[in-house]
Structure formats: C-alpha cells, structure tokens
Amino acid sequence: MKKEEFKSIINSHIKNFGYHVTTVAGKSALPRYSYSIGLEYTLGFELVFAGGEIFKLKEVTEIMKNIIEQLKINSDWTKMNFKSDDLKSYTLSKVNESWISLMLDGIEDYYKGKKIIVLQIVPDQNNKTLDVPDMSIEFNAEKNKIWQWLVNEWTYPIAEGTLVFTNSEALFGKRITELMRWEEDEWEMFTDNSDEIDKANIKAVPFGILLGIDSTLKEAINVKEGKGLWREDDSLEWNPWG
C-alpha cells in the first residue's frame, strides 16, 4: 500500500471514529505492538500497547478502545487506573522519545515530525509479561534484550519471524525445560510437560522474544527436525531428546 493511500485510510478512521490504530506484527523477531494516530486532536496525546503477547490482538484493540472512552470523560491520566470487565487493570506512562523514533514511525510521519506525547498502556503486575517494556526510560538494547531487534540485526540461521508455540508462564520468566523442532519452522517450547499444559494457555510468539528472555535457548537453533532438548528446571544444561 502506498503511503498516500495509507494516510487516506488513517484520515477516514479519524473522521469516523476519532482515531486510527496501527498494529505492527509478523515476520519480525519483535513482540507485537499497537498504537493510535489521531487522539492528539482530542486528547492531546497518543497511546501505545507494546508487547503483552498473552493478550489476543482483539483483546488489545478492546483494551485501547475502553481506555480511550474513559479518557474522553476524564483526560487526567496521571491519577487514573483503568479497569476492564475481566477485572484486569492498566495504568498509563509517558513514553521516552527514543522509543517513539524507533517504533512509532507512523506517528512521526503523520504529524510530519511534530513532537507528540505518547502514553504507554501498562498492564497490572499479574498480567505484565516480560515482553512489556518500560518505555518511560531511554531505549537501551543491552537492557531490553527482547526489544534489541529494533536496532540489532538478526543473524541467526532461521527466519527472523520464526514463531514458537509456548505457554504463558514462559513469558513471565519461568524457565523452559523442554523443546521440540517438529518441522523446519515449527517449534514448541514449554516450561512443563507438554501433555499437562492447558491448550488455552499456549501462545504463538516470535522466537526472538524467548531468546531475549533466555539466551540459553540459542541451543535450540541447531536442533534437527524431529528432535528436541530437555533440562531440569534448575539447570542451564540441555540434554538431547528424540
């Protein structure tokens, strides 16, 4: 899609709904993220929901929508705690400009370089996985391993956007103890016995996220199809499986 066509869609959404939401996902080692364009005109800032792969995209869209509706009533976001119907809660935090220039090029393009305030939607501690960055401080690739691919080149011998099926606990930092490579681009990595994991708890996430959480998963890259690795949950050493 040409830039002018995309801008026309954005303008149409802003006219009809008050804002447009752009989602960046797929073919990347980065976590998914969504951000608004157009709220600057009514609220004086934009919103971004970065990471949070335990949430479905539909849920993220609904979370953003609900927060926007509450902000229309009271735009003093500094004192607000936003609650959803499922009792999850969210706060807002001002995003450092370094993140805006690296991630939110749609905002910079649309407003032609004008400095725009962007607020990050931050889930409560029970739902804040490790892929949710602290965007209030300056971006640093060494301190943000999961988001390092914003500036670092992907040099591994698998596709950058390779997806892995894993359970939510891995995104909270629980150690992965078993993994299988079923096909060239089909992986499973779990923190517990895969037969005991609730299927509803399984997510498909970029390999880069798990690698950013646990660098010892590099070993998995060289595993042959139909083979796997396992380890005890208190060990860094992998054992062949299959």
Here the tokens at position 174 are 């629980």
Task: Give the residue from 78, 85, 50, 83 showing the smallest Cα distance to 67.
Answer: 83
> At residue 13, does pLDDT exceed 80?
yes
Residue labelled with tokens 């807002």: 92
pLDDT at 52: 97
Residue-wise pLDDT tens digits, 195-216? 889 988 999 999 999 999 999 9
- The answer to whether 206 and 161 have CB atoms below 8 angstroms apart is yes
Whole-number average pLDDT of the chain: 94
Determine what percent of the chain is predicted with pLDDT higher than 70.
100
115 burial level (CB within 10 Å; 0-12, 13-18, 19+): exposed
How is 150-200 classified by DSSP, letter by letter? GTSPP-SSS-TT-EEEEEHHHHTTPPP-EEEEEETTEEEEESS-GGGS-GG
Confidence of residue 1 (pLDDT cuts 50, 70, 90): low
How many whole angstroms separate alpha carbon 41 and alpha carbon 52? 27
Residue-wise pLDDT tens digits, 36-95? 999 999 999 999 999 999 999 999 999 999 999 999 999 899 989 998 878 799 999 999
- The answer to whether 64 and 92 have CB atoms below 8 angstroms apart is no
